[in-house]
Amino acid sequence: MKTVILAEKPSQARSYVEAFQNSTKKQGYYAVSDPVLPNETFITYGFGHLVELATPETYDKKYKQWDLSNLPILPEKYKFIVPKDKKAQFKIVSDLLKEADQIIVATDSDREGENIAWSIMTKAQIDLKSKDIKRLWINSLEKETILHGFKNLKNGWEFYPAYQEAQTRIISDWLIGTNGSPLYTLELQKAGLQGVYSIGRVQTPTLYLVYKRDLEIKNFKPEPYLELNAEIDANSQKFVAKLDPYKRFLDESQLITFMSAKSLEKGLQGGLIKDIQKSHKKTASPRLFSLSSLQSEINKRYHASASDTLQAVQNLYEAKMLTYPRTDCNFITEQEFNYLKENLNGYLSFVSNNISLNNLEPNKRYVNSEKVQEHHAIIVTKTVPSKEEISKFTPLEQRIYNLVLRTTLAMFADPYEYEETIILTEVGSAIFKASGNVPKNNGWKNLFSEYKTEEKEETSTLPDLEINQAVQVNLKTDQKETNPPVPYTEGTLITAMKTAGKTIDDEEAQKILKDTEGIGTEATRANVLEVLKKRGYLVTEKNKLHVSQQGTTLCKAVELEPLLTSAEMTAKWEKALKQISNKKRTQENFLEQIKKFILKLIADVPNEVAQSDVLSNQIKAQIDSQNKEEVEAQITDCPKCKTGKIVDKGTFYGCTNYKADEPCKFTLPKKWSNKSLPKTAIKDLITSGQTKEIKGFKSKAGKSFSAKLQLSDNKLSFVFTDKKKK
């Protein structure tokens, strides 16, 4: 029997190979042998996606040029192709699969992994029903886990619906992008805008979440209010108390009326300690990490992007340091708990503080098999690296490993314990409340005490008083203003995507598992943010996300279509897609809904864009801004065509007529001999033919030198003041 193991990429294949006793490297695959494998076994691999959805022009050449008359684009049958640079590897994989009696799908253990594997098998046109298809399903790339996985293979056909879901997701995104992007772009170009406007099933509602938050901040009007607080002096020990129940006053007259009714006056007066409540409280350690909660926490602590965090966690997974990263679960099973318990002493070598890990029995806050469906939470593996090994990783990877390690260990530590004291002071007929916490046992918090970025909890110690004790009270009025909403960060936006924009805190977000009606998936959210940033719709300022002017125009254009902008509606689509995996919905049913939506867009959008005064004003503002930017970016007149202006083209300096009907091809490089050329030098070259002396050029031998540059017959050359290159 010939067995072929299909891995997702070369690095994953190498991890499998390293777990087996014998291997021989071939072109595009390995021959392997091990007691856990059948006699004739080979491992081959993709480069991620070997098979992709074809572009529109593959169906008809007319689609290469965007034209409203070509919409809608709704193929009866979808075409999948192998990119040119992957055809050689695809042939190797395809030939091996055709010869195989048994195929073991060993791509990443998720929907995308199923999509990659089944897309390859389907494109190879093999008789899948004639093959014995198995599935390797593991949570780490450690040798022991890999071998255990190959001893306990699952039925591959059980995962086929996950492939159908992933494929449906890709096709639906393709349909909306292929129709929506040209539709909005061409309509906005009619209105005078330049550029391409990209539409996406997930990216557009995500952008709109940030747009709405920006609007809330922009339109926010602070409202002044007054607070009445008491500074209490008991035996020369002072503390501050707030009105209980808490109340804000809109103006001075409202405050005076309240104080009169409660027999209060500003300034010094007598008071009485009415009640003292002391209670012993405990706080459990943070929940274990899902990918989104880890991305959110790393962004909060270190301002790393969601994409960078995902890549770093993936690298640690492939290095066998962390478990599978693309998980939306915050729980582990007793199996993981037991191996963690066995390795506690090894893990503690990374923690400099003396930590007591006394909780050696599973706690349902962290250990719950019923909550683990596909993958458990991100935790450290059985492999305990040395500090020298960890030091070879990037700073971000080291930070992530340390945070996951400490969060994992924290569930074994004691809870944080403190004594909460509440003092109620009666002044007139009003009550003022003060509270303070006194730590009794730092417990799990000791694991995080070395983190300078950790937000320190404010604690206040109250004096030791007695009920009915007389005190002096100084009533003060504080003038304050309401605060605007807080801008999104990548971390808080990831959480908002997971909860479809619902406002919940991190602790609540971590409780949400499979039944979450969020937008995107754990695996795709980071990429959605990267796409929005690369297209210039989202900009980051000091870790805060804002929508650019171009993004604002797009949002104003699409906001009349709730299905495009509504996070709640997109979340329902996500839920419908998951139903395909559960065999409660068909691919055809879902795609039919998407097609109806596209037809509605094509019928409604032209009128919406043409008739919206709000959008018209935004377009005018953007055109004015673009014109201003273009004028400011102009360096000087083009010496060749005389009508254009020389501007920064990104990778070179060129003429504004570069893409005109009669293009002007005049260009100058941005870099010359390893020296970036400033705009002043470009202006000097064009206007006088020569620059001033410029420092920092480098010769082929790597030596630095200074020289002038001259432009003659559209060619650059050096001019040395001493006739020698220094």
* 24 three-class SS: strand
CA atoms of 545 and 494, how far apart (whole Å) = 12
Class of residue 679 by CB neighbours under 10 A (exposed 0-12, middle 13-18, buried 19+): middle
Largest Cα–Cα distance in the chain?
97
Q: Is 45 a residue of the active site?
A: no
3-state secondary structure 530-567: HHHHHCCCEEEECCEEEECHHHHHHHHHHCCCHHHHCH
CA atoms of 32 and 611, how far apart (whole Å) = 66
DSSP 28: T
Helix (H) or strand (E) holding 320: none
Instruction: For residue 621, give both structure tokens.
Output: 């503002």
- Give the residue ranges of DSSP H helices in 349-474: 387-391, 395-410
CA atoms of 240 and 263, how far apart (whole Å) = 20
The structure tokens 């503080």 sit at 353
3-state secondary structure 285-343: CCCCECHHHHHHHHHHHHCCCHHHHHHHHHHHHHCCCECCCCCCCCCECHHHHHHHHHC
Asked whether 246 and 576 are in contact (CB, 8 A), the reply is: no
Instruction: For residue 464, give both structure tokens.
Output: 């030791």
Other Cβ atoms less than 10 A from the Cβ of 676: the count is 10
Provide the pairing of β-strand 40-45 with 29-33.
antiparallel
CA atoms of 377 and 366, how far apart (whole Å) = 9
CA dihedral 509, 512, 515, 519 (to 10 degrees): 30
Asked whether 200 and 177 are in contact (CB, 8 A), the reply is: yes
**Within 13 A of 281's CA, how many CA atoms are on the CB side?**
13
Instruction: For residue 524, give both structure tokens.
Output: 């795709």
CA atoms of 179 and 188, how far apart (whole Å) = 14
Q: Where are the beta strands (DSSP E) in 27-83?
A: 29-33, 40-45, 52-53, 80-81
Asked whether 298 and 400 are in contact (CB, 8 A), the reply is: yes
Candidates 29, 45, 211, 324; catalytic one: 324
**Which residues have CB under 8 Å from 215's CB, separation 6+?**
none
Q: Which residues are marked as active site?
A: 324
